Chains A and B, each alone.
Chain A
Amino acid sequence: MRHSIRYLILLLCICLCQAAFEFPASRLAQLELGHALYSSSFPNLFPAGNNASVKVGSQRVYFAAQAVDSQGTGSLRRTVVLVKATDLTEDTLPNLVDNRNAEAILIVLPNEQNTNQLGDSLDNIQKTLLTRSWDASIYFAFEDEHLSSILSDVKKTHGLATSPLTDHWHFVSTSSDAKPVTDLTITNLQNLFKGYPRKGITPTLAVTASYDSFSLAPGAIRPNNDNGAVALLELIRLFSKLYNNPETKPEYNLLFLLVGGSTFNHAGTKHWANNVEASLQESLSFVLCLDDLINGGEKLNLHVSRVSRDDNIKSLYQSMEATAKFLELDFSIQTKKINVSDPVVHWQHEVFSMKKILAATLSSHSSSSPLHFNEHRRYTAEELTKRIRFVAESLANFIYKRVDGPIRQLETFQEELSPSENFVDSYTRAFRHLPIVQAYSDKEDAMMNEVFKMFKGGNGETTEQQFKQKNTDITFYTQSRNVIKASRVKPSSFDIILSLIIAAYFSLYYVMLKGPAALRELKELIWSSKKEKTKKMK
């Protein structure tokens, strides 16, 4: 009736691509603390000896169950639990994993188009997620029409007596086995803008930020650093205009430094500070490290290890204070001495201070904690742009020595020179959705390449530095792109009943064909098999 060969060709396609619904899901980051030592970069998070690891099989089949009634009891083995992020409390996950043995948990995040805030609803449980180990795979996915239909379907059938006809959901994750990341190649980039040479050494002012960040589930949960590198990129864009114009070129070198490995105890910064050219180090008068500029709160803190008596640097502080006043920002200087015996580098500037380079970190946070949980603020690009402008203006006022001048002169970056809100907005979004997590990013990482390309722009002298980082205290496990396939299935009782019906149908058909003879044959068949059995017994 139909063209048989066409079907034969179609056969493979049919077997491979079924109508089942697939959606991308991010898995909770899998880390391990190899040594009894504290993790150097998450000092406040991991108690010694505890590993925050998540075990994940390569391909598993799960049954779906409903778990919105997190207070319920009963085992959830071989079950993936669907939980809406908005329904999560601190006790939900421990209860599901420890008491009810759920094998996997899929946390359904509200649609990102609606909220535009990545993983906001998870703020209260982020710490719970990272500070202990889980015997379950935890996945995150954004809610869409398919997933919400599955959710409502699962909710509907939950608790009802299952008949052979009720549909169940099967979830299969296509992730490959997670392997430990052993070799890490970290790249540092520097971009030097040369000013007019002075007699002797032309002083150099350095601004640095790290491009890498950490996220519990990249792409699903907001990373801890989504604006430091953005600020640096915008500063390059602004200052390159000044340096390219002979009329505005100052007598100061400006060095931009984009470092990696901040999650590994500022490994990138350390490597740069240890391998910097002697001439450059000599000319370095000050390093300004840009941390999170906005999530910590309204206030901007300049963290220093000691207040410098150098007049030059004092004038930089003054410039910052004056600019902050002009832009109506809350700004203060915080002093915290470095504890030399502490292996943990709390602030990036400490690396430079140890090398006797004057440095300070500008951060919105008042205390150091590498992952600022519960501190994700909803902020607008306008607010962030204002802070970037603050950094730019204060640097410019310092470079052009305009601290003592009348206040209206404090504005350099206006009109066509003013910071671009669109640029800041698009880059912050990109950093949130495609964070560069050092352990997961390789050379092909599109976001990293884009950031590097952007960084190298602006006619400065760019140099790239690469090094291998080994023996970190934390072992990251690979995080491949996960796709979860959800399919509607029937319970096994359905197939058993189906085969019974088929058997009945066949016998009836046979009897119809053969008439009464068939019954006799069937009888003989049963008898003979019984006889054989009895013979064997004897």
Chain B
Amino acid sequence: MTWFHFANCIALALGPVYITYKGSALAEYRAFSACLVGFFGYISTQLLKMILIAILFPLQDSEPFQQEFGRAVLFAVDIIGNYITLSRLSKGTPREVRVLAAALGWSAAEIALANGPTLFGALSLEFEWTYIQRALESNLIILFYISLTRANQIFMRKNNTPTEQSLVIALVFACVIVHFAVGYSRVLMGGLASLIVFTVGSLSLFVVSSIISRYAKVE
């Protein structure tokens, strides 16, 4: 039964990526290559980030708070990487499709490379809720990055009003805070708590980013 359970977890983790691609406008615009740009954008960003960590952060034991804070600071690299990836996409496709393609490719890479490997633990005999939590987290990752990429998209426009600009910066900060809260709650209270934090955080980010992007588009 462990294989069945493993298959369940993998399906739960990867299924939404596929369905999002098939169910959204991405399939209609054949934006697969755009998704691939997002995918490799994530990988190169992570490589760069690791080099930065190796240079800037010497190995040392520090408090969980400090560690998580360091991660939140380094998340800036992710944001910049995401911004660059988004700017690489061809301007031919509608803005929403570009955002979705970059975000989906990006989160697919994170799910496959960061969350996916831990799911192999589901192959062990011992049952643990962790793997189902991890798989659910993978779903939220998509929402989280869609919000972040939307923020970057609006930030990229040249003719933003000051309100829009400040709203977008606030949204990016909110993303960093959610990222920090998820990591810190995992250290302090375990997987279930961080899943709840992540659910609340990413859902609200998604709603807020939808509102902002609609507002920005209307202007």
What 7 A-B pairs are tightest by C-beta distance, nearest first? A513-B23, A487-B126, A4-B113, A487-B125, A18-B124, A20-B126, A11-B117
Name the interface residues of B107-158: CB closer than 8 Å to any CB of A: 110, 113-115, 117-118, 120-121, 123-128, 132, 141
Q: Could you say which of B23, B113, B121 contacts A518, with CB atoms under 8 Å apart?
A: B23
Q: Does A506 contact B (CB under 8 A)?
A: yes
Q: Using a CB–CB distance below 8 Å, which chain B residues touch chain A? A: 1, 4-5, 8, 11-12, 15-16, 19-20, 22-24, 46, 49-50, 53, 75, 78, 110, 113-115, 117-118, 120-121, 123-128, 132, 141, 179, 182-183
Q: Does A282 contact B (CB under 8 A)?
A: no
Q: Does A167 contact B (CB under 8 A)?
A: yes
Q: Does A14 contact B (CB under 8 A)?
A: yes
Are A3 and B46 neighbours in the complex by a CB distance under 8 Å? yes
Interface hub of B5, B20, B132 (most chain A Cβ within 10 A): B5
Name the interface residues of A498-538: CB closer than 8 Å to any CB of B: 498-499, 502, 506, 509-510, 513-514, 518
What 0/1 readout, one digit per residue, does chain A (11-46) give for beta carbons within 8 Å of chain B?
100110011100000000000000000000000000
On chain A, the residues within 8 Å of B121 by CB distance are 14-15, 18
Are A3 and B120 neighbours in the complex by a CB distance under 8 Å? no
Are B126 and A18 neighbours in the complex by a CB distance under 8 Å? yes
Are A487 and B50 neighbours in the complex by a CB distance under 8 Å? no
Q: Could you say which of B23, B117, B126 contacts A509, with CB atoms under 8 Å apart?
A: B23
Are A485 and B46 neighbours in the complex by a CB distance under 8 Å? no
Q: Could you say which of A7, A11, A487, A506 contacts B127, with CB atoms under 8 Å apart?
A: A487
What 0/1 readout, one digit per residue, does chain A (136-179) give for beta carbons within 8 Å of chain B?
00000000000000000000000000000001001010000000
Q: Does A8 contact B (CB under 8 A)?
A: yes
Q: Total number of A-B contacts with CB less than 8 angstroms? A: 98
Q: Using a CB–CB distance below 8 Å, which chain A residues touch chain B? A: 1-5, 7-8, 10-11, 14-15, 18-20, 61, 167, 170, 172, 485, 487-490, 492, 495, 498-499, 502, 506, 509-510, 513-514, 518
Are A5 and B50 neighbours in the complex by a CB distance under 8 Å? yes
Closest partner residue, chain A, to B186 (CB atom): A2
Are B110 and A1 neighbours in the complex by a CB distance under 8 Å? yes
Are A15 and B125 neighbours in the complex by a CB distance under 8 Å? no
Report the minimal beta-carbon distance from B178 to chain A, rounded to whole angstroms: 10
Are B5 and A495 neighbours in the complex by a CB distance under 8 Å? yes
Q: How far is the CA of A20 from the CA of B113 in the complex (A)?
A: 26
Are B125 and A170 neighbours in the complex by a CB distance under 8 Å? yes
Q: Could you say which of A20, A170, A487, A514 contacts B23, with CB atoms under 8 Å apart?
A: A514
On chain B, the residues within 8 Å of A15 by CB distance are 120-121, 123-124
Are A20 and B11 neighbours in the complex by a CB distance under 8 Å? no
On chain A, the residues within 8 Å of B117 by CB distance are 7-8, 10-11, 14
Are A488 and B126 neighbours in the complex by a CB distance under 8 Å? yes
Report the minimal beta-carbon distance from B197 to chain A, rounded to whole angstroms: 13
Q: Please give 4 more A-B residue pairs, beta carbons under 8 A apart, in addition to A2-B114, A513-B24.
A: A3-B49, A4-B46, A11-B118, A499-B11
Closest partner residue, chain A, to B20 (CB atom): A513
Interface hub of A4, A10, A506 (most chain B Cβ within 10 A): A4
Are B179 and A1 neighbours in the complex by a CB distance under 8 Å? yes
On chain B, the residues within 8 Å of A498 by CB distance are 5, 8, 132
